[in-house]
Amino acid sequence: MKHDSTRPEAVRPAIPATAGDAPSVPLAISGLTVSYGDMPAVNDVSVAFRSGAMTAIIGPNGAGKSTLLKSALGIVTPLSGQVTCWGRPLARQRHRIAYVPQRAAIDWEFPARALDVVLMGMYRELGLLRRVRASHLARAMSCLARVGMEDFADRQIGRLSGGQQQRVFLARALAQGADLYMLDEPFAGVDAATERAIIAVLKEIVAEGGTVIAVHHDLATVPGYFDRVFLMNVHAIAEGPVATAFSRENLDLAYGGRLAQDPVGAAGARDAY
Amino acid sequence: MLTDALLLQLGYNATLVTLGAALLGAAAGVTGVFLVLGKRALVSDAVSHATLPGIGLAFIAMVMAGGDGRALPGLLLGAAAAAGLGLLCVSWLTRRTRLGEDAAIGAVLSVFFGAGVVLLTVIQTMSAGRQAGLETFLLGSTAGMLRSDALVIALAGALVLALVLALRRPMTLAAFDPDFAVARGLNVRRIDLAAMGLAMAITVIGLKIVGLILIVALLIIPPVAARFWSDRVDHVLALSGLLGGISGYGGAALSATAPGLPTGPLIVLLSFALFALSLLAAPRRGVLATLLRRRRAVAPGAGR
């Protein structure tokens, strides 16, 4: 890999490893390495995500952002490393974590309506055999309403637009009643109205004390949407408040100086602080 | 005669067989929903063809042990073991080699089936094998079926039906969005295994009535037909079970009206008739509804 051999200083731990064990840290990753075949997708990444904040994971294509999220959730098995949630192993905290995957892998012909997808978020309460009661339906409808999709509850998911589908998946996460929301590119391929709706809901979640971690692509919107950033490119580069960590220097480290324009200056982040 | 058969007036045995076929059809219908949703329908075809050598070996083993080679429980046990081996082969080939799943299915299906046909030929030359009638497992036959056989099939069908209904939520979640299911703490690999295991059970239970060549049709056609009528998994499940049950019931009754009418093909043809009806007449997704919609979309300008 080219990116780090020329810049050894890029490989510094984003956060001291000891910070991760605290019960106040919703997601702490230490020494995480994942590889597909011979290529490491994530290499020795340690990072602790702050509670009650909205953090963007940014980095170029192939930087391992989605893989980091998936291995933190146990969807991809890492070669090594540890993941703790609120100071305890992931397996015991899963119910407090809601995951919104990328839409790409879904079979849109699946016989499910928007409402059915949201009800899937209540799997833990419904279990194998419990009946879906009016109270469950009412809560599912209120989750759909929060993302502005209550009028589409009966629509088969394949007959929704990309943005509407994404909102339904966010509603499914809301139905879970989680404390930590992990989203994989929630704004990929969605319309402007959906982007506004989603960001509004995410800000509500944080205002209510929840934590949001999202893989994000659009650097220009980082200062407006997020409190903190985690920059990575296979290795961890930096984690911190947008005002300090979202710097030209860190972006050059992550993107290898390939950014044509300066997103930091363009978004006016420097002037804002 | 046909009305007698449909109204279960052909005697206790025929009634039991018809009810057994109905339960088998219903169980196959609901199990098949998750095979189709998980895009695993063809794996069950490999599994069903893989049962044949197991049947042959079980027969030989039972004869050599001095027993009756035709005892159904023994034959089904052999079939299940061979089916499991076939399933293992498919998943091993898919995961450990560069072979795609379709190629692995083709290879396993033909090799196991070929071995089974050779074994059946060998059995034909055995003195105990001439009246074995093992070839009825290819296309299914209810003629001369024992009362106890029909009872075993009905009970096993009911059990599979109950298990699929109990596991429908995790299986839906795993088929729809496996990553989300894992993130929720579900063991998706174990759920997939359960779905395949239930399909294997249907294959084995259905050997006697539908036969190993056509059982895959009973797993695939009812779910695909049911999908035309609804966008909800629960409704598709119920309807698929109903269509499968009607096919099993009607096919078995029909084959009881005349000697020599093959049960399996009749059941499959009946389920195909129900599929064709769904394809044509289903509201919104059906062919007629689509044509009408297109007509109406063109009509306002063309009408004047």
What confidence tens digit (pLDDT) does each residue in B101-121 have?
899 999 999 999 999 999 998
Supply the pLDDT for residue B299: 67
Under an 8 A CB cutoff, do B183 and A73 touch? yes
Of B166, B180, B230, the CB nearest to A101: B180
Q: Topology of domain A2-272, per CATH?
A: Rossmann fold (3.40.50)
Contacts of B94 (CB under 8 A, 6+ apart): B100, B101, B104
In degrees, to the nearest 5, what angle opens at C-alpha B133 toward C-alphas B131 and B139? 165
Supply the pLDDT for residue A258: 67
Residue B10 in this model has a pLDDT that exceeds 90? no
Mean pLDDT of chain B, nearest integer: 90
Q: What are the chain B neighbours of A127 within 8 Å (beta carbons)?
A: 169
Spans of all domains in chain A: 2-272
Q: Which of A128, A176, A184 to mutate to test the interface with B (most CBs of B within 10 A)?
A: A128
> Which DSSP string do the residues of A39-73 spell out, in sequence order?
EEEEEEEEEEEPTT-EEEEE--TTSSHHHHHHHHT
Closest CA to A234 of A83, A50, A61, A15: A61
Supply the pLDDT for residue A11: 45
CATH architecture of the region B2-296:
Orthogonal Bundle (1.10)
Task: Identify the closest residue of chain A to B33 by CA–CA distance.
Answer: A111
- Taking the CA of residue A93 as centre, how many other CA atoms within 13 Å lie in the half-sphere pointing to its CB? 21
CA distance B225 to chain A (A): 13
What confidence tens digit (pLDDT) does each residue in B37-71 have?
988 888 889 999 999 999 999 999 998 888 888 88
Q: What are the chain A neighbours of B224 within 8 Å (beta carbons)?
A: none
Residue A6 corresponds to which tokens in the numbers above? 């020329």
Under an 8 A CB cutoff, do A120 and B230 touch? no
What is chain A's pLDDT, residue by residue, as a tens digit (273 residues)? 444 444 444 444 444 444 556 788 999 999 999 998 788 899 999 999 999 999 999 999 889 999 999 999 999 999 999 999 999 999 889 999 999 998 877 889 999 999 999 999 999 888 888 888 999 999 999 999 999 999 999 999 999 999 999 999 999 999 999 999 999 999 998 999 999 999 999 999 999 999 999 999 899 999 999 999 999 999 999 999 999 999 999 999 998 876 766 666 554 443 333
**Across residues B138-142, what is the average pLDDT?**
85
Residue A97 forms contact with B (CB below 8 Å) = yes
What confidence tens digit (pLDDT) does each residue in B203-258 have?
999 998 999 999 999 999 999 999 999 999 999 999 999 999 999 999 999 988 87
* CA atoms of A167 and A195, how far apart (whole Å): 9
* CA atoms of A133 and B54, how far apart (whole Å): 47
* CA atoms of A21 and A27, how far apart (whole Å): 9
Q: What are the chain B neighbours of A107 within 8 Å (beta carbons)?
A: 37, 39, 176
* CA atoms of B200 and B48, how far apart (whole Å): 7
CA distance A120 to chain B (A): 7
* CA atoms of A180 and A95, how far apart (whole Å): 10
Of A106, A123, A127, the CB nearest to B184: A123
Q: Which of A107, A131, A132, A172 to mutate to test the interface with B (most CBs of B within 10 A)?
A: A107
* CA atoms of B256 and B282, how far apart (whole Å): 31
CA distance B25 to chain A (A): 21
Spans of all domains in chain B: 2-296
Residue B303 corresponds to which tokens in the numbers above? 């009408």
Residue burial B26-35, b: 16+ Cβ < 10 Å; e: rest: bbbbbbbbbb
Q: Please, which residues 124-183 of chain B have a Cβ atom closer than 8 Å to chain A?
A: 166-167, 169-170, 172-173, 175-180, 182-183
Supply the pLDDT for residue A262: 63
Residue with the two structure tokens 């402007």 = A192
* Number of C-beta neighbours around residue A130 at 10 A: 11
Farthest CA pair distance, chain B: 84
* CA atoms of A122 and A140, how far apart (whole Å): 9
Supply the pLDDT for residue A24: 87
Closest CA to A213 of A53, A31, A72: A53
